[in-house]
Amino acid sequence: MTTADDRATDVPADGPRVRRDPVLPANRDDLGDQVLTVPNLLSVVRLLGVPLFLWLLLGPHADGWAIVVLALSGVTDWADGKLARALGQSSRLGALLDPAADRLYIVATLVAFVIRDVVPLWVVAVLLGRELVLGVTLLVLRRAGWPPLQVHYLGKAATFLLLYAFPLLLLADGDGTAAAIAAPIAYALTVWGAALYVLAGAFYVVQAARLLAGGDRVGAGR
């Protein structure tokens, strides 16, 4: 999945003196302030698809169309990062919209699945608990003057697995041969995706703790 580190890769020079390695966060404030760009437009389209996706799942139970919306979201997710780099249109807004859309699709799908009893409640509780912990962690980092953390490759892999598991879970919730074939694949992707999602969250918390322990950035160079 494309994420903020696809759009920003440099650590600002005015930060605290820490070792430059892949776990350090990129400063989104160093990105451009463009708003009307092709990648940003694609990200907005993805965000607008979230309520449509939820309505299809919970209203008419049009699972086929919901899967189409989810698939189109995956295509635009891949395209916006590629276009941002190819066209030189990386921006602060894009770096915020892209991961936000991923999380919204995951949360929206989990809520809909609980309401429709597609997945057990404990699975949803674990994944949403991870999001809550990360949300608090990001608030603490921001309060200390740090930009959001770069997305770990495990987080990318977990999001990829979950977003492919969800449509298969919908298919497995039906009847017939297709449902029987999809069920084991869907459950395997869900288990692996959930495990990696939680593991990636633990890595984010560890990275945040390292940054906070290394020195408070508030006021540095300001």
Residues 174-198 have pLDDT tens digits of 888 988 999 999 999 999 999 999 9
* φ/ψ (deg, to 5) at 32: -70, 165
Provide the β-strand partners of residue 91: 32
C-alpha of 139 from chain center: 17
What does pTM read for this prediction? 0.68
Q: What is the token pair recorded at 73? A: 């979201």
User: CA–CA separation, 43 vs 105, rounded Å?
Assistant: 12
Q: What is the pLDDT of residue 217?
A: 56
Q: What is the pLDDT of residue 122?
A: 85
Determine contact, residues 162/110, Cβ cutoff 8 Å.
no
Nearest to 155 by CA among 121, 131, 136: 131
Domains, the chain: 4-214 (1.20.120.1760)
Angle between the 63-86 and 153-172 helix axes, to the nearest 10 degrees?
Answer: 160
The segment with the largest mean pLDDT, out of 73-77, 149-153, 218-222, is 73-77
